Structure 1
Amino acid sequence: MSAETPVQSAGTFTRLRRRFRDWRGGRPFWAGLFTILGGVPIAYFPYATLKLGTMSLTMATTAGAGSLIIGVLLITLGLTMWFQQATRVFAGVASIILALVSLVVSNIGGFLIGFLFALFGGALAVSWAPGKADGAEGGRHKSGRGPAGEGAVEPTPQSADDEPVPPQAPYETGDGGPADGVRSEVRNGGYRVG
C-alpha cells in the first residue's frame, strides 16, 4: 500500500451496523424485543404438538384462543414500542397486564418463559426515556467538568501558555462605587468579580 492509495470508506456491513445502532438508540429496542419474545411462547405452547417417537404430546387447552390473542397482542405491542415511541408507556403497561393475565389463561404464562419476558419488556418500556440531543446539558455533566451549583469550585482561568492566572482582588473607588465598570460582591465569604 502506498501513500497515494486512497482510503477506502467503511464497508457495507459497518455502515449497516452503524445505521442499526443509531436506529436502536432512539427507541426502547430491548423493551420491544423482550415483549415480542414473551409473546411467542405464550401463543405457541397451546398449539404445539411434540412427537416423542410414536407418541404425540399436545398442549392444547380450552383457552387456546385466549393464548393466541394474548401472544399476538404482545408481539404487536413489542412492534409498537419500536415504531411508535410516543405510545411506549401505554404499550408497557398493556404488556405487563397481558403478562399477568397469561398466567391464568395460557399454561402458566407460557411456562413462565413468556410471562417473564413480557413482564420485563413492559417494565423496560415504561422506564425508557428518550435521550437528550448532543450538546444539551441535562442531569449529566460533560467529562472533565465538575458539579455545577452552590458550593462548586469555578475553574481557574488560564493564560495562553496554559499557566494558571492568579486571582485578582476586586477594587472599589473611594466613593464606594465600582471602578472602571468592575462590580464586586461578597458571596460565600469570598469575592467574585462580575
Structure 2
Amino acid sequence: MGGDRPRGSRYRLADARERFNSWRAGRPFLAGVLTAMGAISILYPPYAGLTIGQLPIRMATTAGCGSLVIGGLVVMLGLTMWLQPVMHVFAGSGVILLALASIPVSNLGGFFLGLLLSLIGASLSIAWTPGQPASAHPSRAVEAPGAAVTALATDVRTQDEEVAQPPSATRRRRRAEADRRRVRSD
C-alpha cells in the first residue's frame, strides 16, 4: 500500500484513489453507472409524489409493479457489470431487452430518460474489452536498451522452413550465423 510513502491521511487518500482507479480500470465502470442511473429514472416516476402547495399529485397507474420489476432487474444487471466483468455481454444484452420492455410497461421507459441511459450503458457494456495491465502496456514497459532490435534480429526457423528455402539462401544464412558466433567468441 505504498510502503515508501510517509504516513498521513493525504497519502492514505492517494492510496485509496489508486486502488479505486485500478479496480475501475478492470471493469465496464461507466456502463454500470449509466445503467444504474437509467434504472433509477425508470423506477422513480411511478412512486414519486409531487406536492404543489396543499395539493398532492400522484401517478396512480398500473406501471408501478412493472417499473419495480424492470428497474430492479436493470439495477442488478448494472451491478453485475461491476462485480462480474466477465458477464458484461450478458448483462448488456439483458439491459437492452429490459430497457426496450420498459417503453410500454413503465411510463415510456422513465419518460425516455431511463430508456436512453440504460441503452447507452448497455451498449458500452457490450463494447467493453478488458484492458492490458500496466506492465504489459508498451509505453509503460521497462525494457533493456536494444532488446526490441535484438528480438527482431533473432531469426529462429524450423527445419521445415529451411527445406523450403533455396540451398544458396540456407548456405548464406548458416555462414552469417557462423560469422556471428566467431565474432562473439573473440
TM-score normalised by L of structure 2: 0.70
Counterpart-to-counterpart distance in 1, 2:133 and 2:119: 30
- Equivalent position SS for 1:56: strand
Counterpart-to-counterpart distance in 2, 1:179 and 1:49: 83
Task: Answer whether contact 1:46 1:64 (CA < 8 A) is retained.
Answer: yes
Higher helix residue share: 2
1:103 aligns with 2:103: yes
- 1:80 aligns to what? 80
Which ranges in structure 1 are unaligned for 5 or more consecutive residues?
1-5, 144-153, 156-175, 184-194
Post-superposition CA distance 1:136-178 (Å, at most 9, x none): 47xxx649xxxxxxxxxx97xxxxxxxxxxxxxxxxxxxx943
Counterpart-to-counterpart distance in 2, 1:178 and 1:15: 58
Counterpart-to-counterpart distance in 1, 2:135 and 2:22: 17
Shift in Å, 1:135: 4.9
The match for 2:172 among 152, 162, 178 is 178
Counterpart-to-counterpart distance in 2, 1:133 and 1:77: 26
Q: How many residues align?
A: 145
The range that moved more, 53-62 or 70-79, is: 53-62
The one-letter amino acid of 1:8's match is P
The one-letter amino acid of 1:60's match is A
- 2:116 aligns to what? 116
The match for 1:8 among 6, 9, 25 is 6
- 1:50 aligns to what? 50
1:93 aligns with 2:87: no
Change (3 A) 1:8 1:108: same
Shift in Å, 1:112: 1.2
Equivalent residues in 2 for 1:127-138 (5 A)? 127-136=127-136
- 1:163 aligns to what? none
Identity among equivalent positions (%) equals 43
Equivalent residues in 2 for 1:14-29 (5 A)? 14-29=14-29
Change (3 A) 1:181 1:118: same
1:30 aligns with 2:34: no
Which ranges in structure 2 are unaligned for 5 or more consecutive residues?
141-147, 150-169, 178-186
Post-superposition CA distance 1:34-57 (Å, at most 9, x none): 111110111111111110101111
Counterpart-to-counterpart distance in 1, 2:88 and 2:68: 22
Counterpart-to-counterpart distance in 2, 1:29 and 1:128: 10
Task: Answer whether contact 1:44 1:68 (CA < 8 A) is retained.
Answer: no
The one of the two structures with greater contact order (alpha-carbon pairs below 8 A, sep at least 6) is 2
